[in-house]
Amino acid sequence: MTSSQSADAPRPRPLLAARQITAGYGSVPVIRGVSVEAAPEEVALVIGPNGAGKSTLIKALNGELSLMAGSVQFAGEDISGLSENQRAARGLGYVPQSRDVFGPLTVTENLEMGGYALPRREAQVRVAAILDRFQHLARLRKREAQTLSGGERKLLAIARALVAEPTALMLDEPTANLAPAVAEMVLAEVIGGLAGSGRAILLIEQRLALALDVATWVYVLVDGEPRFSGPASAFKSLPDMGAVFFASTPVASAQTRKPKGAL
């Protein structure tokens, strides 16, 4: 699945799906009636202005926030009542925007923390496989994370999440504070490569131009409510993409999933 997906093409069955969820802090909702999906080999991109509720959405999906309404489904199972650890054990990975690595620990030790719930031998095998896959990190394995560059730290954070072998991975602004060239590498090579390997990716990102190059599907949130849902190709073909952020009602888009084989 690529960002060239047409508006008429059916999406594959979702691995991760939020159904009309409302969530917030205390009794105050921040997002209302939001639905998003991510299927294997997709990069589902969530965008919106600051304060739109993007991070609240991902925290609700991850289990950090309880739902006020709606449900979260993973591999066809309702996981709305599960804890963060239980969701992770089922294959839902998460890379936060900040505090994504343990600064005083070495690269290897950070990766080992990613496998804390695994039997020791299995964790060692997986860490070795990650270091073999990310050769740049392998060369830095004895370095403390706090001495790495911003791009190296983000690569380590993503690699640490992969130790648990998630089938779906959520990333909250992975290119924040990175240089443009490094941001492009993270999005195109790392995140695009993860989707290409069969994982479902839910990506929150502010660098719109770069993110659209790897996105399959686009969701726009404004003031905690959905404003657009459709293929990346449909979003890019809008006469004025920026107008979506100021619309008072949802922009007409391909919002209905058509099962394979449907007429």
Which pTM was predicted? Answer: 0.89
What does the mean pLDDT of the chain come to?
90
Least confident of 37-46, 65-74, 91-100: 91-100
Q: What are phi and psi of 59, to 5 degrees?
A: -70, -35
Beta strand ranges found along 109-236 (DSSP E): 168-172, 200-204, 217-222, 225-231
Interval 58-79: pLDDT, tens: 999 999 999 999 999 999 999 9
Residue 44 has pLDDT above 70, yes or no: yes
243 conformational bin, left if phi > 0, alpha if psi -120 to 50, beta if neither? alpha
DSSP state of 144: B
pLDDT band for position 258 (cuts 50, 70, 90): very low
Residue 254 has pLDDT above 60, yes or no: no
Number of alpha carbons in the 13 Å side-chain half-sphere of residue 16: 29
pLDDT band for position 6 (cuts 50, 70, 90): low
Interval 128-168: pLDDT, tens: 999 999 999 999 999 999 999 999 999 999 999 999 999 99
Domain boundaries, the chain: 1-91+169-263, 99-148+157-165
Q: Which CATH superfamily is domain 1-91+169-263 in?
A: P-loop containing nucleotide triphosphate hydrolases (3.40.50.300)
